[in-house]
Structure 1
């Protein structure tokens, strides 16, 4: 059988544990794949030129990706098929082939775009939260529901768009660590272009757009271009990921503050502006973002700055998501422990007494907590 439209069908079908194949990589495909993953499906994507978001999911082992065209034999490996090639005739052909094999296929609609207006549109910077779509704010959901265009980052809750923004054009501007990326100048130009065409543009980011999200830069460029900008804050993963691992960034008797630092460049890099010696002496919780690749160099700088080797530390990978993992060690060994556990971005590192805190237990030394 074939059906038209995949707006919220992926969330309603009983796909948990089912093999689902998505053919193509049109602007709706990332949202469909994200929704299917949230619903528990085992997803395979066939696309000659996959969106960066889909490539990233494959690199993280969340989907199987084949960079090739659809073949007739592909219907034999799936329980359900989605056709998202971006070419209506091709999608219909795939759906018809599936029907002949008794396979249910959902062919993509061509969304009815809202009419363009003569007046300027606007840009709404929405913080999408740390990953779990349930942590997207009410205001963020409402903005997405009104969007004509959604410009989405890699760590944004893209799967939620299949239900929340079924008619919006979705533009994937993922920046993959060490891989494909959309340059910031191109993103800025894209936001301005769509807003000037009279569209409501939601710039959807992971976490909070103003916490290492370059939301301030985008807002500045839009305002300079005469585009109206609104900001809807999001739940920052700097706090939410540790909380999801039951690690408070502050705790009475342990610390009276926390410092959030970007670790995207190592301490000796010319672009690094962090004083790690001062940070080591600050006596606050240290939260490192984007620090997976440089964790060994950063912990060495903190040790050299005087922070005790036995200081508790933890790395939370994929915080708030179903695949969340927590690696605990101390400052001297956390980088090796994370490497041994094959931790990959996104991950949040917490260094300080709170990283050794275990609810329900007295605040004991780290070794005792780990062995208990």
Structure 2
């Protein structure tokens, strides 16, 4: 046996009797996977850890509170031997051999008839890693290989596109505030599997360079028909490519539903009968201040924060923001898309009761290598923006939290 590698196989244990001897840490680690596999689990042990006992109390396993006895493995399909009694383990292993039950031994792997691989899952795929050598096995190395493969599948760095089960459609992916490391694991994986990517200017652009050569990348900012037709043109592009049987990712900055017009695109796709997946993203309203050392809430300073769009001025009839009400709040105000309107925003807040000395921070190109932070007050922010040449994209934070963190973190 020592001269040959183990033969890998996937056991289908649903409803099949599985016996676990011992209720200690080994059982605690192995039981969740057996429960997930639907096995009919019988635990034989006088004692168990609190976690294992909780599994029994929940009805996930059947606990026989006694030591191993001859005959416990007679009708089992699979056995895990993990007691601290070497003599009992040896007898149980012999019984398993006699009844042709595949048996794992935690105390002596070389005496077992089966080994437990290092396993992990990602989107319906189970990765199981075994060493080929019967002796001199290195569990830490197999676990490290498992982790590397699973992480690569999850974050998209290990590309394994679907072929048989892949369904054409659109994924609205929130790319986060700009740093490519801040996209979600699911978002990165879907991006790696895309045929077409329609990207916003504020999305994590560095990720586009990692895409395979066959992927068509469309700059949403350059889709024709003019400024006011741009969203309709984007909707049409999503529908057109999806109807061609392609997997399409709409890569957005931040979160699709935080001033991202994601619901408009979802409605257009639904009307066209196109399946759509929405992947939330890290919103710049929280992450960018955090990257600049500003907490949007802080004990004893701010118990709430409000996020508003500043793309139209307070005196614009199109504005839906109740600026007078915001001026009366004591928490943090985060303004997105408001750099060119910040002068009128500050004037309105002061006019309705906000102190002109209220701290303001503008964080430009947050979370990227070009990030910079400019501080001011409501009284000085307009002239500061002009003097410091602050340009979009920038997140504006108004409130006492601006002065809480160390300024050097910007």
Shorter chain as normaliser: what TM range? Answer: 0.5 to 0.7
CA RMSD of aligned residues (A): 2.3
Q: CA deviation at 1:233?
A: 0.8
CA distance in structure 2 between the aligned counterparts of 1:167 and 1:187, rounded to whole angstroms:
21
Q: Following superposition of structure 1 onto structure 2, how do residues 232-251 of structure 1 map, counting pairs within 5 Å?
A: 232-251=279-298
* Pair 1:159-2:201 in alignment: no
Q: Assess if the C-alpha contact under 8 Å between 1:122 and 1:195 holds in 2.
A: yes
Corresponding residue of 1:123: 170
Q: CA deviation at 1:174?
A: 1.6
Q: CA deviation at 1:166?
A: 4.0
* Pair 1:264-2:302 in alignment: no
Distance 1:301 1:165, change over 3 A: farther
Deviates more, 1:179-188 or 1:189-198: 179-188
CA distance in structure 2 between the aligned counterparts of 1:131 and 1:348, rounded to whole angstroms:
12
Q: Following superposition of structure 1 onto structure 2, how do residues 131-170 of structure 1 map, counting pairs within 5 Å?
A: 131-170=178-217
Aligned with 1:228 (options 275, 285, 290)? 275
Q: Please state whether the residue corresponding to 1:293 is helix, strand or coil.
A: helix
Aligned with 1:279 (options 319, 326, 334)? 326
CA distance in structure 2 between the aligned counterparts of 1:253 and 1:165, rounded to whole angstroms:
50
Q: Following superposition of structure 1 onto structure 2, how do residues 163-242 of structure 1 map, counting pairs within 5 Å?
A: 163-174=210-221, 183-242=230-289
Q: Assess if the C-alpha contact under 8 Å between 2:306 and 2:334 holds in 1.
A: yes
Q: CA deviation at 1:335?
A: 2.0
Q: Assess if the C-alpha contact under 8 Å between 2:324 and 2:348 holds in 1.
A: yes
CA distance in structure 2 between the aligned counterparts of 1:155 and 1:322, rounded to whole angstroms:
14
Corresponding residue of 1:43: none
1:66-125 Cα distance to aligned partner (Å, 9 max, x none): xxxxxxxxxxxxxxxxxxxxxxxxxxxxxxxxxxxxxxxxxxxxxxxx9x99x9721100
Q: Assess if the C-alpha contact under 8 Å between 1:242 and 1:348 holds in 2.
A: yes
Q: Please state whether the residue corresponding to 2:402 is helix, strand or coil.
A: helix
What TM-score, normalized to structure 1? 0.62
CA distance in structure 2 between the aligned counterparts of 1:126 and 1:256, rounded to whole angstroms:
30
CA distance in structure 1 between the aligned counterparts of 2:227 and 2:203, rounded to whole angstroms:
16
Q: CA deviation at 1:270?
A: 1.3
Structure 2: runs of 5 or more not aligned: 1-160
Q: CA deviation at 1:167?
A: 2.8
Distance 1:226 1:356, change over 3 A: same
Q: Assess if the C-alpha contact under 8 Å between 2:314 and 2:348 holds in 1.
A: yes
Q: Following superposition of structure 1 onto structure 2, how do residues 301-320 of structure 1 map, counting pairs within 5 Å?
A: 301-320=348-367
Q: CA deviation at 1:243?
A: 0.5
Deviates more, 1:166-175 or 1:299-308: 166-175
CA distance in structure 1 between the aligned counterparts of 2:330 and 2:379, rounded to whole angstroms:
17
Aligned with 1:331 (options 378, 386, 394)? 378
CA distance in structure 1 between the aligned counterparts of 2:253 and 2:222, rounded to whole angstroms:
12
Distance 1:206 1:274, change over 3 A: same
Q: CA deviation at 1:338?
A: 1.6
Higher CA-based Rg: 2
Q: Please state whether the residue corresponding to 1:326 is helix, strand or coil.
A: strand
Q: Assess if the C-alpha contact under 8 Å between 1:131 and 1:319 holds in 2.
A: yes
Q: Assess if the C-alpha contact under 8 Å between 1:127 and 1:233 holds in 2.
A: yes
CA distance in structure 1 between the aligned counterparts of 2:183 and 2:167, rounded to whole angstroms:
27
Aligned with 2:390 (options 326, 337, 343)? 343
CA distance in structure 2 between the aligned counterparts of 1:230 and 1:298, rounded to whole angstroms:
36
Q: CA deviation at 1:159?
A: 2.1
Structure 1: runs of 5 or more not aligned: 1-113, 360-368
Q: Assess if the C-alpha contact under 8 Å between 1:141 and 1:164 holds in 2.
A: no
Q: Assess if the C-alpha contact under 8 Å between 2:307 and 2:336 holds in 1.
A: yes
CA distance in structure 2 between the aligned counterparts of 1:181 and 1:223, rounded to whole angstroms:
22
Aligned with 2:400 (options 346, 353, 360)? 353
Distance 1:292 1:172, change over 3 A: same
Corresponding residue of 2:15: none
Q: Assess if the C-alpha contact under 8 Å between 2:167 and 2:247 holds in 1.
A: no
CA distance in structure 1 between the aligned counterparts of 2:311 and 2:212, rounded to whole angstroms:
32
